[in-house]
Structure 1
Amino acid sequence: MNTPPLIMVLAAGLNSCIGNILLKWSRTSLPTDAGPTDKFLSIGFIGGLLFYGINVVFFAKALDSMEVSVAYPILAGSGFAMLAITSYYIFGEPFHLSKWIGLGLVLAGVILLARGD
Structure 2
Amino acid sequence: MNVPPLVLVLAAGMNSCIGNLLLKWSRASLPANAGLADNFLSIGFMGGMAFYGFNVVLFAKALDSMEISVAYPILAGSGFVMLMIASHYLFGEPFQPHKWIGVALVLAGIVFLTRGG
Provide the TM-score with structure 2 as the length reference: 0.98
Question: Any unmatched runs of 5+ in structure 1?
Answer: none
Looking at structure 2, the residues matched to 58 and 33 of structure 1 have their Cα atoms a distance apart, in angstroms, of 36
1:45 and 2:41 matched: no
Please state how far the C-alpha of 1:116 moved relative to its aligned partner. Answer: 2.7
1:56-113: CA deviation from partner (whole Å, max 9, x where unpaired): 0000000000000000000000000000000000000010111100000000000110
Please state how far the C-alpha of 1:11 moved relative to its aligned partner. Answer: 0.3
Query: Number of aligned pairs?
Result: 117
Looking at structure 2, the residues matched to 43 and 61 of structure 1 have their Cα atoms a distance apart, in angstroms, of 27
The residue that corresponds to 2:79 in the other structure is: 79
Looking at structure 1, the residues matched to 36 and 86 of structure 2 have their Cα atoms a distance apart, in angstroms, of 26
Please state how far the C-alpha of 1:22 moved relative to its aligned partner. Answer: 0.3
- Read off the aligned partner of 1:87 and give its amino acid letter: S
The residue that corresponds to 1:109 in the other structure is: 109
Please state how far the C-alpha of 1:46 moved relative to its aligned partner. Answer: 0.3
* Aligned-CA RMSD value: 0.7
1:34 and 2:15 matched: no
The residue that corresponds to 2:24 in the other structure is: 24
Looking at structure 2, the residues matched to 10 and 23 of structure 1 have their Cα atoms a distance apart, in angstroms, of 20
Looking at structure 2, the residues matched to 114 and 12 of structure 1 have their Cα atoms a distance apart, in angstroms, of 16
1:27-68: CA deviation from partner (whole Å, max 9, x where unpaired): 001112212321111000000000000000000000000000
The residue that corresponds to 2:68 in the other structure is: 68
| Helix, strand or coil at the partner of 2:107 | helix
Question: Any unmatched runs of 5+ in structure 2?
Answer: none
Please state how far the C-alpha of 1:114 moved relative to its aligned partner. Answer: 1.1
Report 1:83-98 matches (<5 A).
83-98=83-98
Identical aligned residues as a percent: 73
